[in-house]
A and B are shown apart, each in its own frame.
Chain A
Amino acid sequence: MSTTEQTTMNPEVVALGDPDLSFSFGERRTLMNFLQTVTLWILAGIAAIPLISVLWMLISRGGLRISTAIFTELPPAPFEQGGGIGNAIVGTLVMVAIASLISIPIGILGGLYTGLLNPDSRISALIRFVGKVLTGFPSILSGVFVYAWLVIVMKTYSAIAGGVSLSILMLPTVLLTAEQAFRMVPQRMKDAAYGMGCNSTQVATKIVLPTALPGVMTGVMLAVAGASGESAPLLFTALFSNYWIGSFTEPTASLSILIYNFSAMPYENQIELAWTASLVLVLIVLVFNILSRSFGTRRV
């Protein structure tokens, strides 16, 4: 159909003239779009300022003391020079490991129950509710709880008590993310497994767990990262120690408590070490966060 033909058929279309498709700031719509984009960039920049300035402060003040001694030596006595935070790094890792050993199996099995085996039962609803309440549980109360039930009974502060109180904080994160990951496994995949002649246990172990693993690992890593930075639950449970960890049943050093103790001391050396410990702690948390993201982006 030619243009002349169209003209005779529908003159109104031609009355608008040839369309002007070029870009122009003069239009209200374009201007608003530009202004809003700029505003959002500025707001995003403001939001990033605290994070960047904290990181900058940690690197500039804590980075000064980074050396092998930091990782291999014990904290110094007052007026002593040098020293390191090796025992606190080991202590934090040991207690997070204990907490993981407790919370990951319980969390994943609980998630299997609420997400796969019996999602609609009352028990599942209860577990879910308790999990969500525990997510907002004040971390210091976890310490108080373990103090009452473990520290007093064992008559000593210990790495075990510290690990248990951290596990209480990790459990809801592991459980709720594991449940979500299990629920994300498509029903048709489970049908296929049943159709191949799997029983419920085989469907769970051969199909649901492997398929949901990246999601589960994301939750685990987030929980580990969160637990590594906790200080309140350790105050009443692991206390602190100036020595290397010798057994799981003695007071144990941790990075967060070391920061808390040393930053309040009037000695320059200890204050510097507190900064360095902060940097190390942030790096540990960062590593676990990056790990969790790398698991999360893996294709399911």
Chain B
Amino acid sequence: MSMEMEMNKLEATAAQQAAGDVAIGANIDKIYYGDFLAVRDAAVDIEKGKITGFIGPSGCGKSTVLRSLNRMNDLIPIFRLEGHVHFLGQDVYGKNVDPVVVRRHIGMVFQQPNPFSMSIFENVAFGLRLNGFKGDISGRVEKALRRAALWNEVKDKLKQNGLSLSGGQQQRLCIARAIATEPTVLLMDEPCSALDPIATRQIEELMLQLKKDYTVAIVTHNMQQAIRVADKTAFFSVDMTQGGRTGFLVEVGDTKQVFENPKENLTKEYLSGEFS
């Protein structure tokens, strides 16, 4: 990518953020794990009130990019990022930024449902207590569970262990836990890959509901899912030419455009391969 294009992109991002419709503006030049270049040239904006889908083949770095947005990758000691990730105007990789605080504003739902080994209620109340929330905790818990479309199933057994729920219920519990603290952005890393089709459907409907209040970025293996839920789609691919497996962003745009009229040949090939 040329310097000029780079500058243009940066300016575009800055302008959009100033306009107030971008929640996270990622301008990632390179992500390394040790000496291994995992991702290069990934510039993607997560727009407010929309669902942005990350798609692409295995190993294309879509999860790595997603986890870079709330600094979850910092937990891997050999991780190194070159570039910037702007969250509401602030660089989350800035010098004085505490990754712990970043994660409180950018919530995350993981591939495997991972409720804590505590009651359903305490799972949802966890983030509130963590943040020292002094208000009506049970009210907030109920609200989060309702929004996660789980309230009717668990309202009579809030004291049961969260791990006693089924896989799909556990994942909705994790979503309730993530949204109870009202994070600005919700990151979802293949949230349905461990679920059956019915539970997947429920989570997808839930995402469309959540869109009204939250900004969502979702990684998915499932093309149909991206078409069903995402407003914008970012397509990633793998570059094997330099000996390694380096992921990079191919194109990003409105979902309809990316799927029906992709700009890049790589996208076209991947989509036709998937559907044939």
Contact = CB atoms under 8 A, between A and B. Distances in A.
Interface of A: 186, 188-189, 191-199, 202, 206-207, 210-211, 299-300
Interface residues of B, number: 26
Nearest to A299: B161
B211 interface: no
A201 B118 CA distance: 18
28 contacts: A186-B114, A188-B114, A189-B116, A191-B75, A192-B110, A192-B174, A192-B177, A193-B116, A194-B75, A194-B103, A195-B72, A196-B104, A196-B126, A196-B127, A196-B177, A196-B181, A197-B100, A197-B103, A197-B127, A197-B130, A198-B100, A198-B130, A206-B126, A206-B130, A207-B116, A211-B116, A211-B117, A299-B163
Given A188-B112, A194-B75, A196-B130, 16 more contacts: A188-B110, A189-B117, A191-B114, A192-B110, A192-B116, A193-B116, A194-B72, A195-B103, A195-B108, A196-B178, A197-B101, A197-B127, A206-B126, A210-B118, A299-B161, A299-B163
Contacts of A199: 100
B263 to A, nearest CB: 34
A195 B116 contact: no
B114 A189 contact: yes
Contacts of A189: 114, 116-117
> Which secondary structure dominates where chain A touches chain B?
helix
| Most B Cβ at <10 Å: residue of A188, A195, A210 | A195
B70 A195 contact: yes
Contacts of A197: 100-101, 103-104, 127, 130-131
A202 B103 CA distance: 14
B107 interface: yes
Contacts of B75: 191, 194
A198 B101 CA distance: 9
8 closest A-B pairs (Cβ-Cβ)? A197-B104, A195-B108, A188-B114, A192-B114, A197-B103, A211-B117, A199-B100, A196-B127
A193 B129 CA distance: 13
Contacts of A191: 72, 75, 110, 114
Nearest to A202: B130
Contacts of A206: 126, 130
A195 B100 CA distance: 8
Interface in B147-182: 161, 163, 174, 177-178, 181
A186 B117 CA distance: 10
A196 B118 CA distance: 15
A300 B104 CA distance: 27
Contacts of B174: 192
B112 A195 contact: no
Contacts of A299: 161, 163
Contacts of A186: 114
| Most B Cβ at <10 Å: residue of A193, A196, A211 | A196
Contacts of B116: 189, 192-193, 207, 211
B202 to A, nearest CB: 20
Interface string B116-143: 1110000000110011000000000000
Contacts of B103: 194-197
B107 A195 contact: yes
Contacts of B114: 186, 188-189, 191-192
A228 to B, nearest CB: 31
Contacts of B104: 196-197
A218 to B, nearest CB: 16
Contacts of B101: 197
A299 B163 CA distance: 10
A214 to B, nearest CB: 10
Interface in B69-88: 70, 72, 75
A241 to B, nearest CB: 46
Contacts of B72: 191, 194-195
Nearest to A214: B117
Contacts of B100: 197-199
A192 B177 CA distance: 10
